[in-house]
C-alpha cells in the first residue's frame, strides 16, 4: 500500500534575494496508514512550515510531497483545495467561529463535503460532538466553553470530514493535563479505527507515549526518528 504521506527532498525558504531564509532542507519522511507521528524540535526548526506544506496550505518549492495520492509539486489550486477537504486540521487556536454554536461549527465542515442536507448535517454534528463527550454542550457558543471543550469541538470538526489524514499543530498546548490527554486519546482512536494517520507538532512531553514514532527536527532537517 502506498504511504498516505511520502516526502522526498523537501526544501523550502521564506523571502527572496538577500532576505531568503532557508527553513526546510532536504526533508524525507513517510507516514504509514494509521500511524501517529509526533514532530518535535526547537522553536523555529520548521515544524509548522512542514505541516502547512503537507496540508497544501502553502505552495511547494523543491522536492516531492505525495499526500493521499496527490503529488503536490506542481499541483493546481483546484486539486489542492480538493485535497484540503480530505484532511482534518487541528490547530492550537482551533479557529472556531465565535458566532456559531458548537453544533453549527461542526456542521459547517460537513457542508463543505456537500453530501448531506442541513437537517442531516446538524444531526450528524450532534453525534460527532457526543463522540467527543460534548453531548450536553452542542448549543453553546465557543465563548461559553472551556479551552479543553473548544479543542474537542475542533477535533469533532476535523473528524466530520472523515479525513484520510489529520494534521495537528500543538493541539494540547492550551489544555490542562486531563483535557489534553482526552483530546489526544480521541485522536488516537481515530487513527487506529479509521486508519487515518496523524502528524502532530508538539512540545508536550505528556503525550509522547501515544506516538508510534517521534521525529525530531533541527534547523530545517530531520535529525532523528525514534520508533
Ligand atoms: N510566513 C513566514 N514568513 C517568513 N518567515 C517565516 C514565516 N513563517 C515562519 N517563518 C520563519 O521560519 C522559521 C521556521 O518556522 P516554523 O513556524 O516552521 O518553525 P516551528 O518549528 O514550527 O517553530 P515553533 O515551534 O516556534 O512553532 C522560523 O524562523 C520562522 O520565524
**Domain range summary for the chain, segments of one domain joined by +:** 5-86+163-226
Rounded distance from Cα 55 to ligand 1 centre (Å): 16
220 CB under 6 A from ligand 1?
no
Note the pLDDT of residue 226.
67
**Which residue has its alpha carbon closest to ligand 1 atom 26?**
43
DSSP assignment of 115-166, as one string? -S-HHHHHHHHHHHHHHTT-GGGTT--GGGS-HHHHHHHHHHHHHHT--SEE
Measure the N-to-C terminal CA separation of the chain; round to a whole number of Å: 20
Instruction: Note the helical H segments in the chain.
Output: 47-54, 77-84, 102-113, 118-131, 147-160, 177-194
Rounded distance from Cα 5 to ligand 1 centre (Å): 22
**Which residue has its alpha carbon closest to ligand 1 atom 13?**
44
pTM: 0.89
C-alpha cell, 43: 522553536
Rounded distance from Cα 94 to ligand 1 centre (Å): 19
Q: How does pLDDT run across 62-113, given as a tens digit for each residue? A: 999 999 999 999 999 999 999 998 999 888 766 788 999 999 999 998 887 7
Homologous superfamily of the 5-86+163-226 domain (CATH): P-loop containing nucleotide triphosphate hydrolases (3.40.50.300)
Give the total residue count for the chain: 227
44 CB under 6 A from ligand 1?
yes
Q: Read off φ and ψ for residue 21, nearest 5 degrees.
A: -135, 105
Provide the 8-state DSSP code for 34: T
Distances (CA, A) of 98 to 44, 85, 89, 108: 30, 22, 18, 13
Note the pLDDT of residue 1.
65
Note the pLDDT of residue 48.
93
Q: Read off φ and ψ for residue 26, nearest 5 degrees.
A: 50, 55
Rounded distance from Cα 44 to ligand 1 centre (Å): 5
Note the pLDDT of residue 170.
86
Note the pLDDT of residue 227.
60
pLDDT mean across residues, the chain: 90
Q: Give 95's Cβ-side CA count (13 Å radius).
A: 14
202 CB under 6 A from ligand 1?
no
Rounded distance from Cα 46 to ligand 1 centre (Å): 6
Query: What is the rounded CA–CA span in Å between residue 93 and residue 13?
Result: 25
In the predicted structure, residue 135 carries a pLDDT above the cut 90? yes
14 CB under 6 A from ligand 1?
yes
Amino acid at each position: 500500500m502506498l504511504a498516505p504521506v511520502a516526502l522526498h527532498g523537501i526544501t523550502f525558504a521564506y523571502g527572496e534575494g538577500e532576505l531568503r531564509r532557508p527553513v526546510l532542507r532536504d526533508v524525507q519522511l513517510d507516514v504509514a496508514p494509521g500511524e501517529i507521528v509526533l514532530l518535535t524540535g526547537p522553536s523555529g526548526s520548521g515544524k509548522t512550515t512542514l505541516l502547512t506544506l503537507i496540508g497544501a496550505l502553502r505552495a511547494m518549492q523543491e522536492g516531492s510531497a505525495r499526500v493521499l495520492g496527490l503529488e503536490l509539486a506542481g499541483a493546481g489550486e483546484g486539486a489542492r483545495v480538493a485535497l484540503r477537504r480530505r484532511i482534518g486540521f487541528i490547530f492550537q487556536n482551533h479557529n472556531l467561529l465565535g458566532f456559531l454554536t458548537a453544533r453549527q461549527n461542526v456542521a459547517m465542515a460537513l457542508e463543505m463535503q456537500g453530501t448531506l442536507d442541513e437537517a442531516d448535517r446538524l444531526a450528524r454534528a450532534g453525534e460527532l460532538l457526543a463522540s467527543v463527550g460534548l453531548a450536553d454542550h452542542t448549543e453553546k457558543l465557543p465563548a461559553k466553553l472551556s479551552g479543553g471543550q473548544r479543542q474537542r469541538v475542533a477535533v469533532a470538526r476535523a473528524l466530520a470530514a472523515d479525513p484520510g489524514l489529520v494534521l495537528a499543530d500543538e493541539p494540547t498546548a492550551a489544555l490542562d493535563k486531563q483535557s489534553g490527554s482526552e483530546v489526544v486519546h480521541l485522536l488516537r482512536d481515530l487513527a487506529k479505527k479509521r486508519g487515518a494517520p496523524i502528524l502532530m507538532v508538539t512540545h508536550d512531553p505528556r503525550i509522547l507515549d501515544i506516538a508510534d514514532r517521534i521525529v525530531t527536527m533541527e534547523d530545517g532537517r530531520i535529525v532523528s526518528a525514534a520508533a
